[in-house]
Amino acid sequence: MYRIAVIPGDGTGPEVVAEGLKVLKAVSEKFRFTYQLEFYGLGGERYLRTKEILPDSVLNELKQMDAIYLGAIGHPDVKPGVLEQGILLKIRFTLDQYINLRPVKLFSGVETPLKDKGPEDINFVVVRENTEGAYGGVGGSIRKGTPDEIAIQEAIHTRKGVERCIRFAFEYCRKRNHKNKVTLCGKTNVLTYAFDLWERVFREVAKEFEGIETDYAHVDAVCMWMVKNPEWFDVIVTDNMFGDIITDLGAMIQGGLGIAAGGNINPNGVSMFEPMGGSAPKYTGMGVVSPLAAISACQMMLEHLGEDRAAQSIEEAVMKVVKQDVKSLSAGKMGYGTSEVGDLVVKYILG
């Protein structure tokens, strides 16, 4: 029996999460596993009503779960940063979800701007460090609001944090058994202290993984190659900030935020899975956004829980839907509503 926390969140989060849960129910019946859902009404609405962001009591309950399924956090009436830091980053950090895992995989039938590249060319995974770097919140400002204002925002890279991330990347690469190649994405020519550490640890850890090829690329070059030669990549490991940026690029080349999902992984603790797109306030409640990213997040969650066959069947169903049914993954252009797309996925799973 899995205990799964569900945080539908803001904007279109609740409507896409509903589709993911529909799919979860279908695969649980087909592949015979049981689960119990706990819903948490966190997000902008609650904050505006009660000033409550993420009570410690909820955080403590989340620590007891087998997994967390998240829709989206972010509200147009709340100052940027409040909910992101107070909910999303707070959960990632407190539960020590030190890996942000983001597959970039083009399914047949999905339109990508890289017209001449196909599913065999776009299939890699970004392993993003998820608890340190520029996200540590270390810094400050003085003389605020004056012409002499100075702001400092430090990036933290610890030996332990870097090492566990790189080790995860190599282990994941071995398990994935695709091209058996790990690329370190950094900026050794400018961020000479931080990426000197990353590079040394990368070389050290690589020695433990015979048969896995290693490569290094600066982050700007990675951006170019993700578009020009995405087939060069298998597993890319990088720090928090660079990972944030290159995974949005990755989302676009695999067809956009309507399909891109991610996991916040603590290999020894509670992990959280989410569609990569935000709360999309302008589409809220219209039933026009793609639920396939949220459904793919559900697939990643099941893979993480060890329900490999259920996860596989979700991926196959999603592949069918994008190949045969939806016209586009953009909001309002699918040719179907959010809930109808969820129904199609369920139909293929059960069919």
Q: Which residues bind ligand IPM (CB under 6 A)?
A: 84, 88-89, 244
Phi, psi of 124 (to 5 degrees): -145, 175
- Say which entry of ligand IPM, Mn ion, none residue 88 contacts (CB below 5 to 8 A, set by partner kind): ligand IPM
Q: Supply the minimum distance, in Å, between the C-beta of residue 107 and Mn ion.
A: 21
CB of 248: closest distance to ligand IPM in angstroms?
A: 7
Min dist. Cβ of residue 12 to ligand IPM (A)? 15
Q: x/- site string to Mn ion, residues 278 to 297, per CB under 5 A?
A: --------------------
Q: Which residue's beta carbon is nearest to the bound Mn ion?
A: 244
- Give the orientation angle of helix 13-31 with respect to helix 308-320, to 10 degrees: 120
Burial 29-48 (b: 16+ CB within 10 A, else e): eebebebeeeebebbbebbe
Query: Do 296 and 313 meet the contact criterion of CB atoms below 8 Å apart?
Result: no
Q: Residue 100 or 123: which CB sits closer to Mn ion?
A: 100
- Which residue number, 132 or 244, has a Cβ lying nearer to ligand IPM? 244
Helix (H, G, I), strand (E, B) or coil at 199: helix
Are 39 and 73 within 8 A, CB to CB?
no
Nearer to ligand IPM by C-beta: 88 or 106?
88
Between 245 and 286, name the residue whose CB sits nearer to Mn ion.
Answer: 245
Least distance (Å) from Mn ion to the CB of residue 120?
A: 27
Number of residues counted as binding Mn ion (CB under 5 A): 1
Nearer to ligand IPM, 244 or 307 (CB): 244
**Sign of the four-CA dihedral 225, 226, 229, 235:** positive
Among Mn ion, ligand IPM, none, what does residue 84 contact (CB within 5–8 Å per kind)? Answer: ligand IPM
- The closest residue (CB) to ligand IPM is 84
Residue 261 in tokens? 């999902």
In the complex, the smallest distance separating the C-beta of residue 247 from ligand IPM, rounded to whole angstroms, is 6
Closest CA to 163 of 128, 134, 204: 204
Choosing among ligand IPM, Mn ion, none, which partner's interface includes residue 42 (Cβ < 5 to 8 Å by kind)?
Answer: none
Q: Angle CA(203)–CA(105)–CA(187) in degrees, nearest 5? A: 35
Q: How far is the CB of 273 from ligand IPM (least distance, A)?
A: 12
Cβ burial of 239 (10 Å; 0-12, 13-18, 19+) is buried
Q: Within 13 Å and on the Cβ side, how many CA atoms surround 161? A: 22
Of 244 and 343, nearer to ligand IPM (C-beta) is 244
Beta-strand pair 271-275/99-105: unpaired
Q: Using the minimum distance from each CB to Mn ion, give the nearer residue, 130 or 313.
A: 130
120, 119, 121, 124: which is closest to 106 by C-alpha?
A: 119
Minimum Å gap between C-beta 32 and ligand IPM is 33
Q: Which residues contact 155 (CB under 8 A, 6 or more apart)?
A: 132, 133, 134, 136, 191, 194, 239, 241
Residues in 41-60 that interact with Mn ion by CB under 5 A: none
Considering only 244, 274, 307, 343, the residue that binds Mn ion (CB under 5 A) is 244
Which pairing describes strands 99-105 and 261-265: parallel, antiparallel, or unpaired?
Answer: antiparallel
Shortest distance in whole angstroms from residue 248 CB to Mn ion: 6
Cα separation, 47 vs 54, whole angstroms = 9
Residue closer to ligand IPM by CB (options 135, 348) is 135
Q: How far apart are CA 340 and CA 287, in angstroms?
A: 9
239 part of the interface to Mn ion, by CB under 5 A: no
Q: Which does 341 bind (CB under 5 to 8 A by kind): Mn ion, ligand IPM, none?
A: none
Chain-centroid distance of CA 119 in Å reads 20
15 binds, among Mn ion, ligand IPM, none (CB under 5 to 8 A by kind): none
- Contact residues toward Mn ion (CB under 5 A) are 244
